[in-house]
Amino acid sequence: MAVRKAVILAAGHGTRFLPATKAVPKEMLPLVDQPVIQYIVQEAVDAGLTHITIVSAASKRALEDHFDRNFELEQVLESGDKEAALREVRRLAEMADLAFVRQKQRLGNGHAVLMAKQIVGDEPFAIYFPDDVIVSETPAIRQLMDVYERRGGSVVAVQRLPREEVVHYGVIKPEPLEDRTYRVRGIVEKPSVEEAPSDLTTVGRFVVTPRLISILEQTPPSRAGEIWLMDALDRLAREEPVFAYEYEGERFDTGQPLGLLEASVALALAREDIGPAFKQYLRSLHLS
């Protein structure tokens, strides 16, 4: 069965960006002139995913508003002959078949996936952690979908990191298959350097079979009372083939301030309209 649905997990507090995120969802923080969530939805659309569910929370109504029509704003833009801006704000409401569900209690990212259970049904689907913005010629999730179609099993995106950094991520136990592709023999969430089975760490892109839902329903909460996606994927890998793919592209962790700044700079420099002037400004700083 083809993958046509995506679930974007966007219910987190965003405490690393306080006080900015006291009233503004972290997914609405801008990368130049587009919020982070728009880059994620655009990647899903570009990959051919036609049904997108965003799991949010009560404090994140702005996410829904961003992808909705705003007739008052459209009238202002139309009367001001701002055709380009008008086309863009209208496009946002039409770019995808979007659904929003709320995670009423923040009980882990695995619990958040379960909030979309009725929508994904008995189909394979993609999962996004929207903190990870990946710039690539082929959408990162499309790269995983290609592996899914070729191999017929769930696929997790991975990247190599220095050993001292793997303690912050899920780390796979890999069995090499072909270029950039591995069979996952286990996943350890945030291991110590000594316990890490490899230097291949998970990134916020997954394509999963519907079996994951039933496993999540059976996954007990951790000592912190939360259900974690990595625990379920580790169990899934013991029941059916799960693969990992070293995606091609540049990843930015926009869930922390430095990553958001790095992504903003990189995306601004790549823009034809503001890139040259921004590059000239950066050169004028004479940074030591």
* Alpha-carbon span 96 to 37, nearest angstrom: 13
Instruction: Please calculate the CA angle 37-43-49 and round it to the nearest 5 degrees.
Output: 110
What size, in residues, is the chain?
A: 288
Instruction: Please calculate the CA angle 161-185-54 and round it to the nearest 5 degrees.
Output: 70
* Alpha-carbon span 216 to 236, nearest angstrom: 10
What pLDDT is attached to residue 91? 94
Q: Please choose, from the candidates 207, 198, 210, 39, the residue with its C-alpha nearest in 3D space to the C-alpha of residue 131.
A: 39
The answer to whether the predicted template modeling score (pTM) of the entire model surpasses 0.75 is yes
The position carrying tokens 């190599």 is 160
Task: Report residue 233 as tokens.
Answer: 């994927």
- Counting the structural domains of the chain, the total is 1
216: domain range?
5-284
What pLDDT is attached to residue 247? 97
What pLDDT is attached to residue 220? 85
Instruction: Please calculate the CA angle 118-120-124 and round it to the nearest 5 degrees.
Output: 145
Cα-only R_g, the chain: 20
Instruction: Please calculate the CA angle 203-114-134 and round it to the nearest 5 degrees.
Output: 20
What pLDDT is attached to residue 1? 80
* Alpha-carbon span 112 to 168, nearest angstrom: 20
Specify the CATH number for the domain of residue 253. Answer: 3.90.550.10
Beta strands in the chain (DSSP E): 5-9, 30-31, 34-35, 51-56, 97-102, 125-128, 132-135, 154-160, 170-178, 181-189, 200-208, 242-246, 250-253
Instruction: Give, for 231, the enclosing helix (H) or strand (E).
Output: helix 229-239
What pLDDT is attached to residue 59? 87
**Residues of the chain below pLDDT 50:** none
